[in-house]
Every structure is written in structure tokens, then in C-alpha cells.
Chain A
Amino acid sequence: MSSASVPVARELVRRKPPASVRRRRFLLGVANHSLLIVTAALFIAPFVFIALTALMTNDQALSSHLWPHPFRWQNFIDVFHRSPLWRWTLNTLIYSGLATLGLLISSIPVAYALSRMRWRGRNAVFMVVLIALMLPPQVSVIPLYVMWAKLNLVGTLWPLIIPNWLGDAFSIFLLRQFMLTIPQEYLDAARVDGCGEFRILTTVVLRLAKPGIAAVALFSILYTFNDFFLPLLYTIDAPNKWVVSIGLEQFRSLHQVQWNLTMAATLLVMAPVIVLFFLAQKAFVEGVTLTGVKG
């Protein structure tokens, strides 16, 4: 259909649309832009208010004043004095780092096996991976807790880290989708060159799948940073192992709700991720798009 009408369409497109249409398009554009600005302002507003509260004194934070009088930059330092934010951050880094490392090491081979190797039962296993992905973690949490308790590891970060060293369904899924796009020619060329299967994986596939791996790593870091449920289960009774998410939630009860300090702590917790975003914007956006397009 299209090929037949292309010459006609091209002619029509070249002609300028009538003034009424142009005016309508312009008005729509203006309306769109203004709506966009209003919505964007609404989305930024919470950050602004949180920041303003973070700079108030405690009594001001409990009053209806919106603007700090004076600006108490001291609050950010107070947060560090009143709470072991450094330790929480260290714990979070340990959790994030070790989990992401293990996740990559264990998931890449699995994704490769599921995408580029042919074997019986491959599709069935992939279906199982998909199903595991969709089921809520709460269904498996009780026996796992009992198991970790008997192994004496409750109150440490190991119950959070170790599962990631044995494959993660979401990463496997994403990496597999990505590896499917690697042209077979590269792999065949490597095989012809006499590369063993293992070397193909480590040299060719790893290099070609780098954007996918970067996306998966980024997601893992984000997920572990934001994780609340698992740390709540396993480390709530061991304050020296708290991660940032638990620490922030407990912050208010540790030091008798001071909203100004709590908001300052909230900002401090939001900051690293936002900074990371600005540094790795491209990877972020590509990664997120990847999930949606390949999902």
C-alpha cells in the first residue's frame, strides 16, 4: 500500500498545510508545553519542599511555615552526628558491591546457555525462569529465614548477598534477551578460529554484551540500594549491620522524630543515586529502555 502511494504522499507533504491547521498546531503545541511545565513543576515540588524542610529548625518544621528562617545548613552535619550514616552507607556498599559482582558472575553464563547454546529443555527452563521472576518473594521467605537462622547467619548481610551468587532471574532474563541480539556470525567466526566454548564466552560475548551487562549491573546496584524488605527481615536486630534504607526508616525512632533532620537525612540518602544518574545518564536511559523494549 505504502509503496504505491509514496510518490503521491511526498508531493502532498511538500505543500505547506493551510493556515488554520498551522494555527491549530501552534496552539496545541503551546498548550502541550504549558501543561508539561506545570506537570514538571509538580514533580519537582516535593524535592523543593523536602530540601526547604531540611534547612529548618525542628520547631519550624512542625509549624506551617514554608520557608526556613534562618537557613540551618548545620542540619546535614547533625545527621552524621546523630546517626551512624557512615556505617549504614558502608553496609550498603558491601551489600551492593558483593551482590552485584556475584550476580554478574553467575548470571552471564546462564544467560549465555539460555540464549546461544542449543540444548533440549532450554525453552522449558527459560519458562521456569520467567515464572520465578513473576512470583512475589514473600512466598519463599519463611523457610529461607528458618534456614538462615539455623545457619546462624541472621543478623548479618550474608542472607542478602549469597543468593545473588547463584543467579538472579531478572538479570538472567535481561541478559538473555540482550544476547539474543548478538549476530550468530561473530560466534561462528570465533568457533571456526578454534576458540573453545569457554573462551568464546569470555572474550567475544562479554565484549559484545557490554551495554546489557552495564544495564544489569546498574539495575542491581539500584535494587540493592533501595532494598528494604530483605534487610528488614534479616538485619533489623543488628543495628551495626543496618543498610541505609533501614537506617533512614529507623532514624525517626532513634532520635525522637525531628522532621528537619529526618528530611536532611532523606536528602542525603537520595543524593548518591541522583549523582550516579547524572554521571551515567546514558547507561541509565539505555538500560531502562532495554528492559521495556526487550521485555
Chain B
Amino acid sequence: MSLTPVAETGAATTVAPVTDRRRARRRAAWRRRRFVLLLMSPWIIGFSVFFGYPLVFTAYLSFTHYDLLSPPRWIGIANYQYLFHQDPQVWGAVKNTLWIIAIAVPLQVLSAFGIALMVARARRGIGMFRTVFYLPALAPPVAATLGFVYLLNPATGPVNVVLRHLGLNGPLWFQSPGWSKPSLVLLGIWGVGNVMIIFLAAILDVPKHLYESAELDGAGPLQQLRWVTIPTISPVILFSIVIGVIAGLQYFTQAYVAADIASGQASQAGDQTVNNYGYPEGSTLFYPVLLYEQGFRHFNMGYASALAMLLLGVAFAVTLFIIVNSRKWVHYATPEG
């Protein structure tokens, strides 16, 4: 604490030390605030430039026609009218993105959880199994997608060849509009390793005495799972659902690469003069892919901004929903840090 200064004048010896102390404390607080500002400065600049400004400008651009070669031209709500009433692709894209979130996320969470359960129960070689299931998650998305498109080639890919040996006629996988999204889901499940590891750690962390008390109460393994394991690891379950949904709203790379490779068209310049997005038949046209196509292929930047605003609205709603409800769903054993 600060030392009381020796009073210069005789009078007001009791008042001066108090104001000095107050002043010193204020100065210290001001210095601390300045230090905080210094610490936070990179983020403040970064947030404004790379987050705040783009959001504002995107909103502005969504009311313009902008093709990057001439200045933006104000057209009012025409972009939104096109989006909601006339764009033949946008509602397909919305449906595709919702599909991938509704189907892929639960399947991935279930797979990660299931595999983690199995690995946790294994007596020997937990480390080895953990490695085996984690490795595919390390594969770069482009490489993994390329591999899967090749593996699932309907005529000559190993998967269909093996199926043929087993007497089954394999589906057309990435070449069929009905099977392309399931193929992407398979790709996603192949890569659940990182979520699986989190589940594994959480499962192994469940206190043994909880299981013992449950067994005492006559609970079989299934009931133990339902009443002990799942509630205890519910924060992890919520976490994996949340990152799954967030990833689903941004799903781009695998869809783009798969459509591009599966459509198999290569012109000389290595460019697509024919449309490959969403191949086949728009089944892999997810919302972020449509946004990219409109903004950076057809250069309808104004319209793409309108698409971005819609995505922002949905993502924001989902984020708010998650934050508001997270406490309700999760069963915390200890208070949050």
C-alpha cells in the first residue's frame, strides 16, 4: 500500500494524506487501465479491421450492385428480392446446409462417442487404438477428400470393387445426387478422431465411485451408460454438438473439392469454364459454396453480400440460442471456472 506522505504544512495533516493516497490509487488504476489497453490493442485493431468493418461494409454492399470493376451502385432491396423470390439455387443451398447439420453432426457425435466408449473399455492397447482413430483426423481436408473421391469411384474405386466381390452393386457415391451427401458424411465420420479423443478423456475421467453406486442400485451396463456416463460427460457432448453446428454452417472445403474432382472435367487452363459447384445436380451446393460462387466466380458481390447477411443472421441466432441455453442443458459436476 502507498505510504502516507509527510505533510508540508502544519494544518490539514489528516486531509492531505487521504487525497494523496486517493490520487496515487487513481494514478495506479489509470496506469493499469493503460496497460490493459496496451495488452488488448492488437485485438482491438484486429477486431475492428477484420471483423467490425467487414460486417458493416457487407451490410452496405448487400444493397448495391457491385462487380468490382466499377463502383458499387445502390439498388435498394433488389438483391434480397432476388434471394427470396427468384434465385433458383439458394433454397437448395439452404436445404443442403441444414441437411448436413441435421445429419452429419449427430452421426459424428455418436460415432465419436461410440468409438471412445469402445476404446475406453479395451483392456489393452488403448494408446494404439487411440492413434489409429486419430490419424485420419490429421489428414488435411483436401487430401482426405481427394482420397475418398478416388476410393468411392463408382466403376474402379476400391470400395465398389470390394462390394462387387461380395456380390453387391455399389452405389454411385459422389456421382449420384442421392449419395453425394452421404459420401461426405462418411468422410466426416472418418475424421472424428479429434472429437473422439476428447470424449475418451472425459469418459476415462468419470469417477469410478459413481459407477459403483449405480451398480449397487442394480443398474446394468446400459443403465449405467444412461444415468452415469452421459450426464457426467454432458459438457463434452454439448461442446462437440456446438463445434459441429458451427462447422456445418461454414462447410466449404470438402464440398468444393469433392464436386470439383468428382465432376472430372479439366479444361486446359485448369479452370472450370463449365459449372461444377454442387456436383452432381446441386446436391453438394452448400450455402458457403453458393456464396463463393456468386461472389468470386460470377462477381455478383452485392448479391453475395446479401447471401452473407442471411448467413450472418442465421449464425447469430444459432449462437445466441446456444449461449442462452447452454447452462440449462449441461450438468456440471463442479462450478464453472
CB within 8 Å of B: which residues of A?
1-2, 5, 9, 12-13, 28-29, 32-33, 35-36, 39-40, 43-44, 46-47, 49-50, 52-53, 61-64, 66, 106-107, 109-110, 112-113, 117, 119, 125, 128-132, 134-146, 149, 163, 165-167, 172, 177, 180-181, 197-198, 201, 222, 225-226, 228-229, 232-233, 244-245, 248-250, 252-254, 256-257, 259, 262-263, 266, 269-270, 273-274, 277, 281, 284-285, 288-289, 291-295
Chain B nearest CB from A137 CB (Å) reads 7
Complex: how many Å from CA A229 to CA B316? 21
CB interface residues, B 193-250, toward A, < 8 Å: 194-195, 197-199, 201-202, 209, 212-213, 216, 221, 236, 239-240, 243, 246, 249-250
How many B residues are at the interface, by size bracket?
Answer: 35 or more
The 5 closest A-B pairs by CB, nearest first: A166-B46, A292-B198, A140-B54, A167-B43, A143-B57
Q: Can you sample 11 A-B contacts with CB below 8 Å?
A: A112-B39, A134-B318, A163-B46, A197-B32, A225-B140, A233-B296, A253-B271, A262-B146, A263-B150, A292-B197, A292-B236
CB within 8 Å of A: which residues of B?
32-33, 35-36, 38-40, 42-43, 45-47, 49-51, 53-55, 57-58, 61, 68, 115, 118-119, 121-123, 129-136, 138-144, 146-148, 150-151, 155-156, 158, 161-162, 164, 190, 194-195, 197-199, 201-202, 209, 212-213, 216, 221, 236, 239-240, 243, 246, 249-250, 252-253, 256-257, 260-261, 264, 266-267, 270-271, 288, 291-292, 295-296, 301, 304-305, 308-309, 311-312, 315-316, 318-319, 322-323, 337
Chain A nearest CB from B144 CB (Å) reads 8
Chain B nearest CB from A209 CB (Å) reads 14
Interface on chain A toward B: helix, strand, loop, or mixed SS?
Answer: helix
Are A125 and B156 interface neighbours, CB within 8 A? no
Are A273 and B252 interface neighbours, CB within 8 A? no
Complex: how many Å from CA A172 to CA B249? 22
Are A53 and B312 interface neighbours, CB within 8 A? no
Task: Specify which of A165, A177, A288 is in contact with B197 (CB 8 Å cutoff).
Answer: A288
Using A5-B216, A172-B43 as known contacts, list a sample of 16 further A-B pairs with CB atoms less than 8 Å apart, ordered by residue number in A: A44-B132, A46-B151, A62-B156, A113-B39, A117-B36, A119-B36, A132-B47, A138-B250, A139-B309, A139-B315, A140-B58, A167-B43, A228-B142, A228-B256, A229-B253, A292-B198
Complex: how many Å from CA A109 to CA B47? 15
